[in-house]
Structure 1
């Protein structure tokens, strides 16, 4: 009964934290996925002066831990006159991380489109940008959807790192509740269950989408 009482007392504040986490991941994906598409197109470009710098940026983004990216954006940008709130800093930092990882997933999806379709498009008089827009990108994104959904789940889990720059997300709310009651185990366990309550159904949905897409490819 004590555990349930602790959970009941902490649940409202943790629910607010969970809402902030969901908003954070939503903003990160909204910015990061289009960025990933642009980086994927750049890294697959035939123009070397464009392709090589983009590949370097992607590798830097993938090689930099999300926690370090959060610190760079939150503490580094104000040195250059750009001061953001902790929430906006976390959104931007996670969007950069999302874009770097999403670019490789999307690039793989784009490369899975048969070359013959591009040749057929050229034979029909379509320009390369038009073929990319109407043929390659729609099919490539469809192939990449399950992996992108998996990335979204990982980014949701990564939002817990935003605690380090004082974003009032779920982990921050759990620590705040624990510091007032000193019952960290029970409250952090509840926070873990709240993460699981979203990640497991999302994983099932990702697997379901992958199976559905596999039947149509």
Structure 2
């Protein structure tokens, strides 16, 4: 006879899984912050006029996008020791997630950078802005409106991928669920509780992504006025 007790017993396992949730969130934050910073520089290197730099950056990006995260976790945790590099499970998992996040985010960021109208760059040059100021005041603010929504979605995916870290014994949600299930044999209840915890993060994240996309896509992104308005100390010319 089927046992449907899990329908009302799963909430009791939530408190026992919460420590794993905090670990998963911490891993996600570190991996995404580091990965997106690396992804930004990879996006710039892919556009480098140097063919060597361009191809090296492309290889790194394609490795991050093409190699499954599970394989990356094994490479960083069990492969690197053969090269004399030893990483604990937590840092190894973060490194694998960060490498994957860098690969995917670089293409998202590059798409945002390339979407900035060429006229904006020409207007910045006409104002004699330094390269760093051009990116700071003109390119990045406009590219962010395009890149941020997909980056939020990628953050959700990275959070879900933290569940793979259980294979290298990182004490995240699934690791706790496996331990509890092996003791209580209430696998259905435990895994339903784990699923609810993931949903508590992913559903608000999806709503946030949709809201950001609508809000950012509703702002103008072109025109000389936008360029001048983005630069502190540069005032708009008054119409006659």
Aligned residues: 216
Aligned to 1:188: 191
Q: Name stretches of at least 5 consecutive residues in structure 2 with no aligned partner.
A: 221-240
Whole-Å separation in 1 of the counterparts to 2:88 and 2:218: 45
Q: Structure 1 residue 129: deviation in Å? A: 4.2
Whole-Å separation in 1 of the counterparts to 2:214 and 2:145: 12
CA deviations over 1:37-76 (Å, ceiling 9, x no partner): 0111111222322112101210111100000000000011
Please tell me whether Structure 1 or Structure 2 has the larger radius of gyration of its CA atoms. Answer: 2
Aligned to 1:137: 140
1:1-217 alignment to 2 at 5 Å? 2-3=5-6, 4-5=8-9, 7-8=11-12, 10-217=13-220
User: Greater helix share, 1 or 2?
Assistant: 1
Q: Is the 8 A contact 2:28 2:162 kept in 1?
A: yes
Q: 1:198 to 1:6 in 2, by over 3 A?
A: closer
Whole-Å separation in 1 of the counterparts to 2:47 and 2:218: 28
TM-score, L = length of structure 2: 0.85
Q: Name stretches of at least 5 consecutive residues in structure 1 with no aligned partner.
A: none
Whole-Å separation in 2 of the counterparts to 1:35 and 1:140: 16
Whole-Å separation in 2 of the counterparts to 1:42 and 1:91: 23
Q: 1:115 to 1:106 in 2, by over 3 A?
A: same
TM-score, L = length of structure 1: 0.94
Backbone CA RMSD of aligned residues:
1.5
Q: Is the 8 A contact 2:21 2:172 kept in 1?
A: yes
Q: Is the 8 A contact 2:9 2:189 kept in 1?
A: no
Whole-Å separation in 2 of the counterparts to 1:121 and 1:213: 22
Q: Structure 1 residue 141: deviation in Å? A: 2.0
